[in-house]
Amino acid sequence: MDNYILAIESSCDDTSASIIRNGKIVNNIVASQDVHKIYGGVVPELASRAHQSNIVPVVELAISDAKIDKSMLSSIAFTKGPGLLGSLLVGVSFAKGMAMALDIPLISVNHMQAHILAHFINDPKPSFPFLCLTVSGGHTQIVRVDDYLKMEIIGETLDDAVGEAFDKAAKLLGLPYPGGPLIDQYAQEGDPNRFEFPDTSVPGFNYSFSGIKTAILYFLREEKSKNKNFIEENLHDICASIQKKLIDMLLQKLKKAAKKTGISQIAIAGGVSANSELRRRLTHDAKQHHWTTYIPEFQYCTDNAGMIAMAAHFKFLARDFEDLSVTPEPRMKF
């Protein structure tokens, strides 16, 4: 008999549902929330309200698109954390209600682990152990992955996440939220060596991105005092230079971690892994360092329920089910 799991992702500002059949993703439905664009960042209360309106149609679409009836589901998976409490609550409560009504088990998934397990959706798949640079709007981590559900963070940001640095830099440039993809886009035609930004040095495999954000703020303030059209006239070069600096910082620690651990299977995951410069530079460095690299398909980089479904499949095989009294964990660790 086929095994179908419904997975729900609602940790931030994307409402998503996915059906996985016997470990293979059938679909990955994502409803993004445009409402945050004008505010320059995710507004938590608006995000939870939008999840409330989107969750039923998104789940219904995932089920009908898979050409199944909900009675055929063997379990319901959801993101338990990390994420915004109000957003997580919508997914957790919906999943609980549905699991209770259908009398099937509930599977809780860690959002950051799921970003990494997205690598098992398509071929080629990494083998263990591998290192994963997980880069999103809320996290920047270097993770040593020893098995599907056995992972250890060996380095992480001590302050801002790299996606946050991209978004905050974009905001200073007057670009709408989320600015990361726009910086990527404008950088395509810019000179990455035109402007220099300082490095913040932190020990080990850890990162710090708050310094560069402040440096960009002062740099722009200074240049605008000399030429009020500085941003408009130099947007491509500014974006390319900021992007280069952020990617340099990411790769420097990743190389250090690969060298120290002796692991040459290297993956990237999370929203910022959609960045074209990161993908290009990783492929370039891989040749030099004899790494085998794993870069996710775009739809599985940013938040999506496909990755939650993939993680749920491994938890289902391990019979790792959750109690109906479960509550969200906004600061969930591995």
- For ligand KG4, the nearest residue by Cβ is 271
Binding of Zn ion by 79 (CB under 5 A): no
Complex with ligand KG4: residue 126 or 179, whichever CB lies closer: 179
Is 254:266 a contact under the CB 8 Å cutoff? yes
Pairing of strands 24-32, 130-135: unpaired
* Residue 243 · residue 184 · CB < 8 Å: yes
Nearer to ligand KG4, 278 or 312 (CB): 278
Give me the phi and psi of 208, to 5 degrees please.
Answer: -145, 125
Pull the structure tokens for residue 246. Answer: 């952020």
Question: Any contact of residue 166 with ligand KG4 (CB under 6 A)?
Answer: yes
CB 257 within 8 A of CB 154: yes
Task: Tell me: does residue 184 bind ligand KG4 (CB under 6 A).
Answer: yes
**Residue 155 binds what, of Zn ion, ligand KG4, none (CB under 5 to 8 Å, by partner type)?**
none
Nearer to ligand KG4, 25 or 47 (CB): 47
Q: Which does 329 bind (CB under 5 to 8 A by kind): Zn ion, ligand KG4, none?
A: none
Query: Of residues 111-170, which lie at the interface with Zn ion (CB under 5 A)?
Result: 136
Partners of 107 in the β-ladder? 77
* Rounded Cα–Cα distance for residues 101 and 236 (Å): 53
Q: In the complex with ligand KG4, which residue's Cβ is closer, 98 or 165?
A: 165
**Residues 265-279: b if buried by 16+ CB within 10 A, e if exposed:** bbbbbbbbbbbebbb
Alpha carbon distance 223, 215 (integer Å): 12
303 binds Zn ion (CB under 5 A): yes
Among 9, 160, 167, 237, interactor with ligand KG4 by CB under 6 A: 167
d(CA 57, CA 304): 16
Question: Least distance in Å: CB of 294 to Zn ion?
Answer: 17
Residue type, 106: L
Smallest distance from the beta carbon of 37 to Zn ion, in angstroms? 18
Contacting residues toward Zn ion, per CB under 5 A: 136, 303
Contacting residues toward ligand KG4, per CB under 6 A: 12, 136-138, 163, 166-167, 178-181, 184, 270-272, 274-275, 302-303
